[in-house]
Amino acid sequence: MRFEDWMQAGNVFDAIERTGQRCGARTAITFLATDPDAAPRKLDYTGLVAGIARTANAFRSLGLQRGDVVAYMLPALVETQFVLWGAATAASALPLNPLLQVEEIAELCRAAGATALVALGPLPGTGIWAKARRVKELVPAIGALIQVGGEKGEGGGGVHLLQDLLEASPSSLAFSDRPGLDEVAAYFHTGGTTGAPKLVVHTHRNQLAAAYGGAWAVGAGCGDVILNGLPMFHVASAIFCSLAMFVAGAEVVILSPTGFRNPRIVADFWRIVERTGATLVGGVPTALSAVVKVDPQGADLSRVRINICGASLLPRGVAEQMELLTGKPLREVYGMTEAGGVICVDPVSRERVLGSAGCPIPFCEVEARALDGIGASPRSCKAGEPGVLVVRGPNVTPGYKDAGQSATLFTEDGWLVTGDIGYVDATGRVRITGRAKDLIIRSGHNIDPAAIEECLMRHPAVADAGAVGMPDAYAGEVPVAYVTLHQGASVTEQELLAFAKSIINEPPALPRRLFVVEQLPMTAVGKIYKPALRQDCARRHLLEVLQGEPIAALSVREDPGLGQVVCIELAAAEAEVARETRQRIAAALQGYLLTLEWPASPADAA
């Protein structure tokens, strides 16, 4: 069967409209306010289709056409769903993280070619509207600024109220040029902390392949209710937790505008599961780690059908606790922005296997390629042999908006290079063990940080762990680990190192150092932010190596072309002394794989 024949939808709006025709009166969205005890807002499928159509028509009324880009800075609202899918229908969407700095948001808008910006209006406790105003000033191409909620009276100067636009727009599409499968539905931003932003192209084909495949794998249908506590600028929230459920006719419960970042939601999680009759319960590992600590207090969880986790590797202990609390299996979802957000799912059609990403969704292929440094060689690995995972299928992006950034995204034979380390077993199941870029390479010995993290997570005092490579003059880098502890727990670094030594049989993988910290740096979707850990341990180590030198400041950053860049500012000194100090420091760091930068010092000015 061809993918198009299986799916039978020409674009995202067509797919949601088809669901509306068969599930019109069924609830599509339940929106919980910041206070979970407040009366929820409900929207049926007829209302969802009408809301998306009105929004698409509103964008067209402002002169936006196919090829234009509508950016949005919104929390998780019903209107966010209208804007995302309405923009994909009339033009293209650019979901933005409102927590980014103004300059970063402006750069993303420039890179995408945004011509309209939708943002949350002025409300106490949020600065989104002020950011949006500033972004419009910085990006002249943005002609329309559209306000969602907040105080009225902000009109004029290219500012429009979304509610007014919707009331003036028809509830069915008023234009005939619906997008084709291979036209751009959205640009999702991804990538590192340096260099130009990477905007992943999502075609309607990509999004629908991921959505239909994810829905099929978990057996989603009209009787299902999923809890979505993720932000709507993230692909997992938009595709798996929203679009996949809409094409299946399920109900999406939005867990307040801030989702799992709302402490009331976490505290009331199991009561919300009972009250909403949730059948699909899950989130990212950090969210699940928080909710398993909450006492259900007798909440009726009998409607839960499966637990779901995605975004990063889930500690086995958390998975087991979820299964113990709900009495239902946990299924992992593996995906990435460059593959529509869904690549593999541990499917309901097969026995669940903890720690497995499951099987590729329909029409998607996954294989492991032998490591070539940290890249993928042309050789396919045997069953069970680890390598770099590569993917091909209709869910895979055609590339980044800036084609120059796609140079290393695909293999020579056209497979997407995920950058993940793992293997495919003899049954076709995919196992993820870590990230290629996170590999710790000690004297040519590849060390998977996941093995260190899994070991430390077994210690009863450890809540979370992250392992990275610390610069070493002899070995290139050596493993170190950062951990946070459970509330009230106490353990020394020496005790944890001894614990690790008793479990890790591979001597090179033993952490050289271990740091107990109050909090690990996290991304917006709950992943440990490894670049921050690498920079921190490099800084700690280099300050020890250079102890006694007149250093005013030392910072570390990661550069795609230069690797780790160490910027050293010297304390005030005469020019000759500063020159000698730099020579001495450069000699001390000669054996390290680092790039040194020297900002101008007061002595230079003299």
- Decide: 533 and 483 in contact? Cβ < 8 Å: no
At 506, list the tokens.
Answer: 């591979």
Q: Is the per-residue pLDDT at 4 higher than 70?
A: yes
Q: Which of 252-261, 307-316, 498-507: highest mean pLDDT?
A: 252-261
For residue 28, what pLDDT is reported?
Answer: 98
Q: Is the per-residue pLDDT at 561 higher than 60?
A: no
DSSP 338: G
Q: Is the per-residue pLDDT at 247 higher than 90?
A: yes
**Selected residue with higher pLDDT from 478 and 195:** 478
Decide if 598 is inside a domain: yes
Give the end of a domain, one of 532, 562, 594: 532
- Decide: 161 and 155 in contact? Cβ < 8 Å: yes
Other C-beta atoms within 10 Å of 302: how many? Answer: 10
- Decide: 454 and 407 in contact? Cβ < 8 Å: no
Question: What range defines the domain where residue 575 resides?
Answer: 546-605
* Among 360, 314, 319, 357, residue whose Cα is nearest residue 340: 360
Predicted confidence band at 274 (pLDDT cuts at 50, 70, 90)?
very high
- In angstroms and rounded to an integer, the radius of gyration of the C-alpha atoms of the chain is 25
Judgement on whether residues 594 and 550 belong to the same structural domain of the protein: yes
For residue 194, what pLDDT is reported?
Answer: 36
Q: What is the pLDDT of residues 338-367, one digit of tens each?
A: 999 999 999 999 999 887 899 999 999 999
Q: Is the per-residue pLDDT at 603 higher than 70?
A: no
* Among 108, 103, 97, 114, residue whose Cα is nearest residue 199: 108
For residue 524, what pLDDT is reported?
Answer: 63
- Decide: 16 and 26 in contact? Cβ < 8 Å: no
Decide if 446 is inside a domain: yes
**Selected residue with higher pLDDT from 42 and 476:** 42
CA distance linking residue 248 with residue 24, whole number of Å:
13
DSSP 221: -
What's phi and psi for 555, nearest 5 deg?
Answer: -130, 155
551 to each of 533, 559, 567, 578, 581, how far by Cα in Å?
Answer: 22, 22, 11, 10, 9
Judgement on whether residues 490 and 559 belong to the same structural domain of the protein: no
Decide if 565 is inside a domain: yes
CA distance linking residue 358 with residue 375, whole number of Å:
23
CA distance linking residue 287 with residue 311, whole number of Å:
11
Give the end of a domain, one of 470, 505, 532: 532
CA distance linking residue 4 with residue 10, whole number of Å:
8
Judgement on whether residues 521 and 567 belong to the same structural domain of the protein: no
Judgement on whether residues 463 and 516 belong to the same structural domain of the protein: yes
- Decide: 484 and 517 in contact? Cβ < 8 Å: yes
SS3 assignment, position 569: strand
For residue 193, what pLDDT is reported?
Answer: 33
What's phi and psi for 97, nearest 5 deg?
Answer: -80, 110
For residue 196, what pLDDT is reported?
Answer: 55
Q: What is the pLDDT of residues 14-24, one digit of tens each?
A: 999 999 999 99
For residue 312, what pLDDT is reported?
Answer: 67
Q: What is the pLDDT of residues 392-404, one digit of tens each?
A: 999 999 999 999 9
Residues in the chain: 606
Q: Is the per-residue pLDDT at 391 higher than 80?
A: yes
Judgement on whether residues 485 and 557 belong to the same structural domain of the protein: no
- Decide: 92 and 59 in contact? Cβ < 8 Å: no
Q: What is the pLDDT of residues 412-459, one digit of tens each?
A: 999 999 988 889 999 999 998 777 778 787 866 668 888 899 899 999
Judgement on whether residues 563 and 511 belong to the same structural domain of the protein: no
Angle at 135 between CA 129 and CA 136, to 5 degrees: 95
Decide if 377 is inside a domain: no
CA distance linking residue 33 with residue 24, whole number of Å:
24
Give the end of a domain, one of 532, 558, 576: 532
**What H or E segment, with its residue span, contains residue 280?**
strand 280-283
282: CB partners within 8 A, 6+ apart = 227, 288, 307, 308, 309, 310, 330
CA distance linking residue 359 with residue 427, whole number of Å:
9
* Among 197, 227, 9, residue whose Cα is nearest residue 95: 197
SS3 assignment, position 516: strand
Q: Is the per-residue pLDDT at 223 higher than 80?
A: yes
Question: What's the rounded mean pLDDT across residues 556-561?
Answer: 73
At 487, list the tokens.
Answer: 């509330």
SS3 assignment, position 169: coil
Decide if 316 is inside a domain: no
Judgement on whether residues 554 and 520 belong to the same structural domain of the protein: no
* Among 81, 395, 389, residue whose Cα is nearest residue 214: 395
Judgement on whether residues 449 and 507 belong to the same structural domain of the protein: yes
Question: What's the rounded mean pLDDT across residues 578-592?
Answer: 89
Decide if 596 is inside a domain: yes
DSSP 251: E
280 to each of 35, 206, 276, how far by Cα in Å?
Answer: 22, 23, 11
DSSP assignment of 92-105:
EEEE--TTS-HHHH
CA distance linking residue 224 with residue 24, whole number of Å:
15
Judgement on whether residues 559 and 601 belong to the same structural domain of the protein: yes
Question: What's the rounded mean pLDDT across residues 58-65?
Answer: 97
Query: How large a percentage of the chain has pLDDT more than 90?
Result: 74
Judgement on whether residues 463 and 502 belong to the same structural domain of the protein: yes
CA distance linking residue 337 with residue 363, whole number of Å:
17
Predicted confidence band at 526 (pLDDT cuts at 50, 70, 90)?
confident
Judgement on whether residues 568 and 601 belong to the same structural domain of the protein: yes
Decide if 335 is inside a domain: no
Predicted confidence band at 375 (pLDDT cuts at 50, 70, 90)?
confident
- Decide: 109 and 142 in contact? Cβ < 8 Å: yes
* Among 222, 330, 225, residue whose Cα is nearest residue 277: 225
Pairing of the two strands 563-570 and 462-472: unpaired
Q: What is the pLDDT of residues 460-519, one digit of tens each?
A: 999 999 999 999 877 788 999 999 999 999 999 999 999 999 998 778 889 999 999 999
**What H or E segment, with its residue span, contains residue 482?**
strand 476-485
154 to each of 58, 102, 129, 160, 169, how far by Cα in Å?
Answer: 18, 20, 10, 8, 20
SS3 assignment, position 444: coil
Look-up of token digits 């923009």: 87
**Selected residue with higher pLDDT from 106 and 576:** 106
Q: Is the per-residue pLDDT at 7 higher than 80?
A: yes
CATH for 521 = 3.30.300.30
**What H or E segment, with its residue span, contains residue 219?**
none
Q: Is the per-residue pLDDT at 165 higher than 90?
A: yes
Judgement on whether residues 445 and 510 belong to the same structural domain of the protein: yes
Decide if 130 is inside a domain: no
For residue 444, what pLDDT is reported?
Answer: 60
For residue 151, what pLDDT is reported?
Answer: 78
Give the total number of structural domains in the chain: 2
Strands of the sheet containing 595-597, edge to edge, are 551-559, 563-570, 595-597
Q: Is the per-residue pLDDT at 528 higher than 80?
A: yes
CATH for 559 = 3.30.300
* Among 43, 41, 91, residue whose Cα is nearest residue 67: 91
For residue 407, what pLDDT is reported?
Answer: 87
Q: What is the pLDDT of residues 111-125, one digit of tens each?
A: 999 999 999 999 988
Query: How large a percentage of the chain has pLDDT more than 70?
Result: 95
